[in-house]
Amino acid sequence: MTRRLLWQRFVAHLDPVLLAALGLLLLVSLVVLYSASGGNWSRVLAQMTNILVACAALWVVANMPLHYLMRAAVPVYLLGMVLLIAVAFFGEIAHGARRWLNIGVTTIQPSELMRIAVPLMMAWYFEKHEAMLTLKNYFVATLLLLLPVALIARQPDLGTAILIASSGFYVLFLAGISWRVMLISLVILMASMPLAWSTLHDYQRHRIMMLLDPAQDALGSGYHTIQAIIAVGSGGMFGKGYLNGTQTHLDFLPERTTDFIFAVYSEEFGLLGNIVLLTLYSFVIARGFVITANASTYFTRLMAGSITLTFFTYAFVNMGMVSGILPVVGVPLPLVSYGGTSMVILLLGFGMLMSIHTHKKLVQT
């Protein structure tokens, strides 16, 4: 009887529907990772560890009352900013980008933290000024967003910068920023494009150019995109079969376990597999929408909406870049690509969703 009670306490704040969809995606991750790594069990085990750690984070956050989350917003955001500034000055350079900070025990990537911290901060800010939102509030919120985005874009880490920018934009959008302001901002943005272009790094420009015509540099930067598209296209309707992807297993695909894992999946499972994957993602997103729609407070609505839409954005950008409709910006496929930090941040987000959902229920009952 006590065991059952304990179990009920344990799962009380978990959302079974969301959990099931996430579980299936994580299963896909392990299955594809085994193939993508060429049957490397240690990779699969490492990913399992990532998942376990991330699940623990999910559980902890899911059981956290909402005011805890709100209280965490400002310190987490400030910590993130400090770390980002530290990166700008003392960060370690790898692959031509300054993204990592050595904190003695290990190196961390503060931009990952900002993926949660930025929407959290913005949602907190809007909640605080909920009573009478003026244009000034939107301006301040935008500033809260643009500061870290600018720092991250400078590292340079275009992929993360874009995704954080979009997560912040979702908060602004859902917080009710007026259409007129959005339109004016858009016009200003378009007008400043040439200026933005001039501040981009060469490799970033190259990637954008490559999107327009990957074949122009088939053996250079375009190589990755072309090989990925070949993998996807040659997968056909039903795929080449598990462990039978030639592009994958003969090393033609780059970054097979991380950014391009979707190409591996797509080659081996074909269109049918892609539809299954899209369905799983849709399921997660749909559940996210339901939770968002039913969220009880302004803060939780903004937070839940931003988490859900950002998750979708991750998935869309990754699949879009692998299938050649978006530039290669270095975004992993959420919940499937190999990687610990990304996994923890993502499941942390879903933990918040569950917390939002279940704590609201508790409040109601």
Binding site residues, other proteins, CB under 8 A: 131, 170, 173-174, 176, 227, 229-237, 246-247, 249-252, 266, 270-271, 274-275, 278, 282, 285, 289, 292-293, 298, 301, 305, 309, 312, 316, 319-320, 323-325
The nearest distance, CB 10 to other proteins, in angstroms, is 31
Q: What are phi and psi of 334, to 5 degrees?
A: -60, 135
Which of 14, 356 has the CB closer to other proteins? Answer: 356
Q: What gap in Å lies between CA 289 and CA 21, rounded to an integer?
A: 14
C-beta closer to other proteins: residue 164 or 309: 309
Q: Name the minimum Å distance from CB 42 to other proteins.
A: 21
Q: Output the smallest distance, CB 58 to other proteins, in A.
A: 23
Q: How far is the CB of 205 from other proteins (least distance, A)?
A: 24
Residue by residue, what is the 3-state secondary structure of 205-243?
HHHHHHHHCHHHHCCCCHHHHHHHHHHHHHHCCCCCCCC
Least CB distance from residue 274 to other proteins, whole Å? 5
- The owner of tokens 């190999």 is 338
Tell me how far, at minimum, the Cβ of 108 lies from other proteins, in Å: 32
Give the span between the Cα atoms of 107 and 320, in whole angstroms: 30
Q: Which residues contact 349 (CB under 8 A, 6 or more apart)?
A: 116, 307, 310, 311
Which residues pair with residue 163 across a beta bridge? none
CA distance 207 to 214: 9
Q: Which is nearer to other proteins, 204 or 246 (CB)?
A: 246
Contacts of 26 (CB under 8 A, 6+ apart): 51, 335
Residue nearer to other proteins on the CB measure, 152 or 277: 277
| Closest to other proteins by CB, 137 or 246 | 246
Pick the closer one to other proteins by CB: 209 or 271.
Answer: 271
